[in-house]
Amino acid sequence: MPKRIIPLSDMKVQKAKSKDKTVTLFDGGGLFLMVTPSGGKLWRFKYRFEGKEKKIAFGAYPEISLLDARKSRDESRRQLAQGIDPSAARKVQKKAITQEIETFELIAREWHSRFLSTWTTRYAETIMSRLERDIFPWIGKIPIAEIKAPELLAVLRRIESRDALDLVHRIRAICGQIFRYAVVTGRVERDPSVDLRGALPQPQQKHRAAITEPKKVGKLLRAIDGYQGSFVVQCALKLAPLVFVRPGELRRGEWEEISFENAEWNIPGSKMKMKEPHLVPLSKQAIAILTELYKLTGSGRYLFPGRTSQRPMSDNAILAALRNMGYAKDEMSGHGFRAMARTILDEVLQVRPDFIEHQLAHAVRDPNGRAYNRTSHLAERKKMMQTWADYLDGLKADAKVIPFKSVKR
């Protein structure tokens, strides 16, 4: 049987004496104390990596206590379990400290703070939590100039192994932004993340449930008119197909953003996905809904307040209402009103695609490659929104509707 190692104690380490040759006292887990003939007491950690035996010096006693040495041993064993050579990791860390080389984590946090004011609080927290959980533990301490495509790929493979394919692509994109920031600030020569395109499997495309067949849309609109729940939620359901903004933009709408006089909803860039202000022309039908809603919630901040007037209704309110009306999660979603409008405006009403995309607040550019501003094609979009509202009224009344693709361009 192998000899059982009895862990060291503070008293045993303190009383350890030197002899004519070096004495080795084992603590377990690869940690041991070397007592030299001159009286020095040196901590060492022995391990195997890729079949080779290696050693790391943790420092001398009493500057490094038994507790400190054990912490260093445990950290090294954790690195080994993750496929990292502790010796190589320590060399990189020492190099970063002694030569003041800028590490990936240092540059990433600098990049994050530089752009913090352009993001929502929630988005900023999401980015940092992803970096702290999935990137910094592996390459955070490595000088950013030394990280090449293979090192970055190895880290992303860990995320891929969890079948988090959508997340791995999002994090690759975040890393790409950090590297590009490092390029323009003179820290690195190029962005290695571009070399990983095609190296990671793509996630399966997930389409949000949406009703896009005109007759079924009419049935949904009649169901909304007969909704027996909260009046505020019913108004949100009625307005959603008329404005087809994102669910978060709808539920966080504020009265100060609504202009009854101009029949417009001006959404500030801070609430938009693309961080650009967005203008929504309001049809006569939309104005009628808001006029009735104002009588109930107009004294507060939000169009659709939640349980208190200080907070908007929950992001689950519209989904729950759809389920209560009998629409399954694979049949219709809050986001589905956007797909409904996009599909029918294009395929049935034959509206110009760039008008539709602009009203959906997607990135649309003019022939010279410049982004359209919020008022681009405003007259045409106002006409489109009124035509759309009138068309929905026809569907709700079960009038004769234009079949899909009945008109050729």
Angle at 93 (CA atoms; ends 90, 98), nearest 5 degrees: 120
State the virtual CA torsion across 296, 301, 307, 312 in degrees, nearest 10.
120
- 246, 252, 278, 396: the catalytic one is 246
User: Which residue type sits at 63?
Assistant: E
Neighbours of 72 (CB within 10 A): 20
Q: Across the strands, what pairs with 41?
A: 35
- Return phi, psi of residue 261, to 5°: -65, -45
Tokens found for residue 274: 């693309």
- 55, 362, 365, 405: the catalytic one is 362
Q: 62: cis peptide before it, omega within 30°?
A: yes
CB 34 within 8 A of CB 24: yes
Pairwise CA distance, residues 60 & 35, whole Å: 10
| 3-class DSSP state of 315 | coil
Tokens found for residue 273: 């996905």
User: Would residue 61 show up in a list of annotated catalytic residues for this protein?
Assistant: no
- 338, 342, 381, 396: the catalytic one is 338
User: Would residue 133 show up in a list of annotated catalytic residues for this protein?
Assistant: no
- 271, 335, 342, 358: the catalytic one is 335
User: Would residue 181 show up in a list of annotated catalytic residues for this protein?
Assistant: no
Pairwise CA distance, residues 234 & 226, whole Å: 9
User: Would residue 207 show up in a list of annotated catalytic residues for this protein?
Assistant: no
Radius of gyration of the chain (CA): 31
Q: What sign results for the dihedral spanned by CA atoms 208, 230, 264, 311?
A: negative
User: Would residue 246 show up in a list of annotated catalytic residues for this protein?
Assistant: yes
Q: What sign results for the dihedral spanned by CA atoms 377, 378, 380, 384?
A: positive
Name the residue among 68, 70, 14 with its Cα closest to residue 41: 14
- 372, 374, 382, 383: the catalytic one is 372
- 273, 323, 374, 377: the catalytic one is 273
CB 290 within 8 A of CB 239: yes
Three-state SS string over 162-222 comes to CCCHHHHHHHHHHHHHHHHHHHHCCCCCCCHHHHHCCCCCCCCCCCCCCCCCHHHHHHHHH
CB 357 within 8 A of CB 338: no
Pairwise CA distance, residues 44 & 36, whole Å: 13
Name the residue among 193, 84, 77 with its Cα closest to residue 144: 193
Give the position of tokens 């104690």.
9
Supply the residues annotated as catalytic.
246, 273, 335, 338, 362, 372
